[in-house]
Amino acid sequence: MPIRPILIHPDPRLKKEAEKVHDLDDELIALADDMLETMYDAPGIGLAAPQVGVLQRLIVLDCVKDESEPPQPLVMFNPEVVLSSDDTSVYEEGCLSIPEQYAEVTRPAEVKVRWIDRAGNEQERDFEGLWSTCVQHEIDHLNGKLFIDYLSPMKRQMMTRKSQKLKRERARV
């Protein structure tokens, strides 16, 4: 099942905390590979396992937007932000689970993230720019948090209604 269907908000699975991964078995590796394919197909620059209905702490990302540059896919099991900068940055975020809607979100500009890679090795790296925004957005998904949760209740409600409408329309065809 290489391309997996992406859940659309509102869906209770997008609001739940995902479970830590314990054994990197073949099933989890296959899930990570499917998620990368699903992300590139969407297209997107990140994807978290709860977005494909799997409540495990796994995210994938590749923030290389220029198609003439080589891809830089990252697979992260149990990713953790271990350090956040005090300075912030604002980015107009989107979400594959809230299609066609965008809003500015303020987050720490730089973060240090620790994770287990696809080969089972611990990694730690600093992220800045779009990579930093994206990795924080994806880790939020693992904690049942969406980018619209940073917005005012009114904006959030408006975007939720639009997403619900789009979800109903997509279910009809």
Quick one: which segment of 24-32, 72-80, 110-118, 132-140 binds ligand K1U (CB under 6 A)?
A: 132-140
Q: Quick one: three-class SS letters along 25-79?
A: CHHHHHHHHHHHHHHHHCCCCEEEHHHHCCCECEEEECCCCCCCCCCCCEEEEEE
User: Where do the H-state alpha helices sit in 88-152?
Assistant: 129-142
Is 138 a binder of ligand K1U (CB under 6 A)?
yes
Answer for which of 95, 105, 113, 135 binds Zn ion (CB under 5 A) is: 95
Is 65 a binder of ligand K1U (CB under 6 A)?
yes
Binding mask 10-49 for ligand K1U (x = CB under 6 A): ---------------------------------xxxxxx-
Burial classification of residue 13, based on how many CB atoms lie within 10 Å of its CB (0-12 exposed, 13-18 middle, 19 or more buried): middle
Q: Strand, helix or coil at 16?
A: coil
**Is residue 27 annotated as part of the catalytic site, yes or no?**
no
Where along the sequence are the contacts to Zn ion (CB under 5 A)?
A: 95
- Show which residues are catalytic: 138
Where along the sequence are the contacts to ligand K1U (CB under 6 A)?
A: 43-48, 65, 91, 93-97, 133-134, 137-138
